[in-house]
Structure 1
């Protein structure tokens, strides 16, 4: 993955939902609504019809694919800035009046080959659409750790990313911070909304999407706002 934050060029990691074509209009309507979600990584998407290729994946007959930006874009951004980040947990974050309150569940990335965030979603534990509409709900988050000596660099890169249109940052925590009651470690932490939240309502509403997490990489130039995909 070679995305460059400063030029906005290169491949970005995505979460891909593959859905029956007869649900296209309903799916687009949901994603238009999700454009107002306050914890969105990016409001840009890439759409491919049956027979077309998205990244390196060909969309099957009778289906269409829609790719949204994964939260691992921040791993890429920080790696290019010389900061190594380590995935620690996926969590369910409880929100109240659109403000994060604390984790109700945490799954360690250690010892699992499946995406913990996808496990939360598949298990019916999320309420992303409810959070969007009412301010109350449970969303998926990712917890990354990094050297406390890189805090200034991380804050600077996140600030630039925000200016470039990226979002979803829940917190940048010093090791001494007790916010969110995470297990103690002598490392700083980045808490970011999972990119999966963007397409979570498709699962919550029963559209039964086939979801590929971080398997497909898309050129940033191919991404566009969802109301431009028609």
Structure 2
């Protein structure tokens, strides 16, 4: 049996190939693997591709690259479900550890989501995002063309990086505050005030990022919120020790001065924050999701592919919409 670590890498390579509308070469796969937290060079990628070819999961097209076979698609649907239950939270925790943004010095890396839209839709997408920025994390974004050396962008697409709310977990940890990502969910908002979570998924009980699941379901109503003050948005909840609430509040104030916001609620001792359960001795912090600005784009019928909690990026290189 193949080593479990190799199996994980094989599955991730198959995902990358499956997500492309054309054959993909080893260099592009290696670049995208780095975006997803794997440090694999082209030579190592070619080794893994040979294994996939031998199993009949991928097909080689000369020097153009590989495509996934029907057998590979079936394998991708069923592969490593139990293993992936831990993989989502493990990957998030790795990015949390690598976050080093300093709100006082206003420099460092933040976690970002990466979304892709057609080039022809970019201007309209940017306009819609500007209107929904109050329900996101930051007005700053990274924009990448298909020849970018920083992230992989499919042909005919534009990549858009938005600050991910899990960045807060990394900054809290960096300042000595133990933090645990708990839930992602759909939050009901009435008269521009957060009311209650309508649905929750635990980060430790899913093989797919909870925010991505709700995006795929098209569960939001950010448009309604912008028009009437009432609707639903994506949000997540994390927990910290009650004794750390004062320090956490100060950090959120400092982050606000860096155009990093999105704090919706902080529980002190009720055991419940906007309907999400909080363990005894802990406080819950609810923050809007960084991809809400992309959710409204989807609500307008524009095709968007989003990878929440994708990679880390220097916040200083991101520009205001």
Normalised by the length of structure 2, the TM-score is 0.66
Kept in 2: contact 1:85–1:144 (CA 8 A): yes
Select the residue among 129, 147, 152 that pairs with 2:241. Answer: 147
Alignment of 1:44-193 (within 5 A): 44-54=140-150, 57-176=151-270, 178-186=272-280, 187-193=282-288
Q: Which of 122, 125, 130 is the matching residue for 1:32? A: 130
Mapped to 2, the partners of 1:2 and 1:178 lie a distance apart of 30
The count of corresponding residues between Structure 1 and Structure 2 is: 222
Instruction: Tell me by how many angstroms 1:98 deviates.
Output: 0.7
Q: Which has the higher contact order (CA 8 A, sep 6+)?
A: 1
- Which secondary structure does the structure 1 equivalent of 2:200 belong to? strand
2:106 is aligned with 1:8: yes
Shift of 1:34: 1.9
1:19 paired residue number: 117
Flag the 1:184–1:221 CA change in 2: closer, same or farther, 3 A: closer
Counterpart Cα distance in 1 of 2:216 and 2:298: 8
Consecutive unaligned residues of structure 2, counting only runs of 5 or more, are 1-98
TM-score after normalising by structure 1: 0.90
User: Is contact 2:169–2:181 with CA below 8 Å preserved after alignment?
Assistant: no
Q: Which structure has more strand as a fraction of its residues?
A: 1
Instruction: Tell me the alpha carbon deviations over residues 78-103 of structure 1, each in whole angstroms, 9 at most, x when there is no partner.
Output: 11110121011112111111111111
RMSD: 1.6
Query: How many angstroms apart in 2 are the aligned matches of 1:202 and 1:195?
Result: 13
Tell me, yes or no, if the aligned pair for 2:191 and 2:230 is still in contact at 8 Å: yes
Give 1:216 shift: 2.5
- For 1:184 and 1:18, locate their aligned partners in 2 and report how far apart those are by CA, in whole Å: 35
- C-alpha separation in 2, matches of 1:4 and 1:73: 11
Residues 132 and 292, structure 2, Cα contact 8 Å, conserved in 1: no
Pick the structure with greater CA Rg: 2
**Which is helix-richer, 1 or 2?**
2
Q: Indicate conservation of the 8 Å contact 1:48/1:59, yes or no.
A: yes
